[in-house]
């Protein structure tokens, strides 16, 4: 029997959680969250974790299961998610994955290239020099040791060159192995025991921005300010370098007013949503629906796609 992973993608505040619950109830299955910030138990309001009623409506996995003090990589999530799916598929050959973290979606659907382990001393040296020399130090390492990949990012994805965590990883691999980062890409083919059925939710930009602004207002009413204040003493943690918290940390530092911080949260969330759309629109074989589409239409699409896949297999 073939397994199917219904995967729901799209920008923040578009309605992915609500749809995933309706589909889980229809297919009698469970939900894997691949929102990398909803993993953290200390970050509830600012990451729009499903509320108690939503969590009770369908069983969820990878919601608030680790701490901001834990080291948990996308590779760790890939391993854990695949193991959980193997377990769930024994009970039901249809399961659901939902979330807005494109890298984590890709990790489950396609896996990652097989990179070697890097000595901790290399990582420590890179972190120390980064603290002193800044992002340019990391960029120069990639430029010198893997100019081909650096130029590819420069022309196709400049945002990655501005991402300290990604740049540190590139530097670790280059310095720790003595080989270009790009030399490890495409070396491993990941086998998956499921067929993905990918559903994208979208809205026109004005409506999307309106939904984002309303969500931020709702988060503040629900206590985002108090949640951020409780996390403020640990603001240097990587997990807390997140929209909705960073801006309030600046307010606590006396750098901005509260009104300015709130407007910055809205603006930066809108920018984040644009980046999500850019990422997800590259997803192959995704079927995009307006966020207001009736769930019955989406269910029909999923069931039709499953029948089509069965028909292809029967012919083979």
- pLDDT for res 236: 92
Binding residues for ATP: 10-17
d(Cα 226, Cα 200) in Å, to the nearest integer? 33
Tokens of 126: 């890179």
All structural domains of the chain, each given as residue ranges with its CATH number in brackets, are 3-112+190-315 (3.40.50.300), 120-184 (1.10.20)
CA dihedral 226, 228, 234, 237 (to 10 degrees): 160
Binding residues for substrate: 12-17
Binding residues: 10-17
- pLDDT for res 121: 85
Do 253 and 166 form a contact (C-beta atoms < 8 A)?
A: no
pLDDT (tens digit, 9 = 90+) per residue, 1-14?
Answer: 799 999 999 999 99
Is 299 exposed, middle or buried, given 0-12, 13-18 or 19+ CB atoms closer than 10 A? middle
Please report, in tens digits, the pLDDT of each residue of the chain (316 residues total).
Answer: 799 999 999 999 999 999 999 999 999 999 999 999 999 999 999 999 999 999 999 999 999 999 999 988 888 899 999 999 999 999 999 999 998 999 899 989 988 777 777 888 888 899 999 999 999 999 999 999 999 999 989 887 787 898 888 899 999 999 988 889 988 887 665 789 999 999 999 999 999 999 999 999 999 999 999 999 999 999 999 889 899 999 999 999 999 999 999 999 999 999 999 999 999 999 989 999 999 999 999 999 999 999 987 766 665 5
DSSP state of 115: P
Tokens of 293: 């589409």
- pLDDT for res 189: 59
- pLDDT for res 314: 61
pTM across the whole model: 0.80
d(Cα 306, Cα 92) in Å, to the nearest integer? 14
């Amino acid at each position: 029997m073939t397994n199917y992973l219904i995967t729901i993608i799209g920008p923040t505040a578009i309605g992915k959680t609500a749809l995933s619950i309706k589909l889980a109830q229809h297919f009698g299955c469970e939900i894997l969250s691949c929102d990398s910030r909803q993993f953290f138990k200390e970050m509830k309001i600012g990451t729009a974790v499903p509320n108690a009623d939503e969590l009770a409506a369908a069983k969820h996995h990878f919601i608030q299961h680790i701490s901001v003090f834990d080291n948990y990589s996308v590779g760790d999530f890939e391993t854990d998610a695949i193991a959980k799916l193997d377990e769930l598929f024994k009970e039901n050959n249809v399961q659901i994955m939902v979330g807005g973290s494109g890298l984590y979606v890709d990790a489950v659907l396609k896996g990652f290239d097989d990179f070697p382990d890097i000595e901790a001393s290399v990582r420590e040296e890179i972190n120390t020099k980064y603290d002193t020399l800044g992002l340019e130090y990391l960029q120069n390492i990639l430029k010198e040791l893997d100019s081909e990949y650096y130029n590819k990012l420069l022309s196709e994805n400049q945002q990655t060159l501005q991402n300290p965590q990604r740049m540190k990883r590139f530097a670790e691999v280059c310095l720790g192995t003595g080989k270009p980062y790009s030399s490890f890409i495409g070396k491993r083919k990941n086998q998956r025991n499921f067929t993905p059925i990918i559903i994208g939710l979208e809205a026109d930009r004005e409506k999307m921005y309106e939904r984002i602004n309303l969500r931020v207002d709702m988060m503040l009413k629900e206590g985002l300010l108090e949640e951020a204040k409780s996390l403020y003493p640990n603001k240097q943690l990587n997990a807390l370098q997140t929209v909705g918290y960073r801006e309030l940390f600046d307010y606590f530092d006396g750098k901005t007013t509260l009104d300015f911080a709130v407007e910055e949260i809205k603006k930066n969330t809108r920018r984040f949503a644009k980046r999500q759309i850019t990422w997800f629109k590259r997803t192959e074989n995704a079927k995009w629906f307006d966020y207001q589409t009736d769930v019955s239409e989406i269910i029909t699409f999923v069931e039709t796609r499953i029948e089509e896949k069965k028909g292809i297999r029967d012919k083979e």
